[in-house]
Copies of this chain bind each other. A is one copy, B any other.
Amino acid sequence: MRYTIFGESHGPAIGVVLEGVPAGLELDLKAMDQDLSRRAPGKDGLSTARQEADKVHILSGLFQGKTTGTPLAMVIPNSDQHSGDYESLRWTPRPSHGDYAGFISSKGCLDYRGGGHFSGRLTAPLVAAGSVAKQLLARENIWVAAHISSIYGILDRPWEDVEELKTAAIKPFPVLDDGKGEEMRQAILEAKEDQDSVGGSIECAVAGLPAGLGAPDFGCNVEGIFSQSLFAAPAVKAVAFGAGVGFSYMRGTEANDPFTVQDGKVFTKTNHAGGVNGGITNGMPLVFEVTLRPTPSIALPQESVDLRTGEEVEIEIKGRHDPCVVHRAVPVIEAAAALAACETLGI
């Protein structure tokens, strides 16, 4: 399965084409809508005021409710665009956004309105594709679930069993510990009040993957496959498996996962490795954490450059922006993980 996401924030539509979808999947469009609504901006002041219907139109690859095995094209029309908000930013790239890099790579031809192809809006088709992937995984008893593991340094507690993670994932504010969630929301609102933004992290688990998938080699390595998919989600700046950066503080005795046997099946007592050894799944849940940078679009004045004159200028970003994208990114990370899991399984 291979996906291609297309579209610009203020163009006629965004969408995705999924190739290699196995035939015969009864596609649950309601489940897809639910995932899409998890990433939609809320009405709680934590997100952008831009409202999008995110209605998926399926153009191909589905017949009488089932996938046909031919490319599945899904399109989401754009609406509620305030393109005028962006005109002033055409030649003055917003710091840490894709504007400048995109200006160079497009030879000055990029659609600068609303972030164009760099817009967080492009995560909607990613979530739609991820929903198809999740439904394919579910047939193999594999599920994917994520929660906010931290926002602005406020940490959620670790998950203890699979069910509580699955439950947390679909909450409106997906944390295990709602008290911590409340603290995180406060941090977001304070940042908003300060015309600023905050970063955070998401922990995700893929459970049910059989042992023995992948290889140590470039291109087949499970961590490599997942990381490539995860870094394609906007704002992701770090990907860490199992104990992750914590490994750098550890000794082998702490880090190693001892083997044990239960009901004739081999397990490890701990899962510091995050389900992968030597680039191959070991049968334990695949667990990883991604770090998301604070939204670069903040309302405070910032230093930029006028690309026409080469002069330094101060800019103020208008438009409607998220003070934090972490809570909305939970289904996005699940989607990227689900697509990577399909690749790992050779689906």
Contact = CB atoms under 8 A, between A and B. Distances in A.
Interface of A: 3-8, 11-15, 17, 19-20, 23-24, 57-61, 63-64, 66-73, 75, 93, 95-102, 104-111, 116-118, 122, 150-153, 191, 194, 196-201, 211-221, 223-225, 227-232, 234, 236-245, 247-261, 264, 266, 268-269, 272-274, 276-283, 291-298, 300, 302-305, 307, 310-312, 346
Most chain B CB inside 10 Å of its own CB: which residue of A95, A276, A292, A346: A95
Contacts of A106: 23-24, 68-70
B17 A17 contact: yes
A contact face: mostly helix, strand, loop, or mixed = mixed
Contacts of A214: 101, 105
Copies per complex? 4
Contact of A19 (B4, B67, B300, B307): B4
A176 B256 CA distance: 30
A4 B4 contact: yes
29 contacts: A4-B71, A6-B71, A13-B60, A19-B217, A24-B107, A63-B116, A64-B109, A67-B109, A70-B110, A98-B279, A101-B277, A101-B280, A105-B280, A216-B234, A219-B228, A227-B231, A238-B240, A238-B241, A238-B244, A245-B245, A252-B298, A253-B300, A255-B296, A256-B298, A259-B303, A259-B304, A260-B305, A261-B305, A346-B346
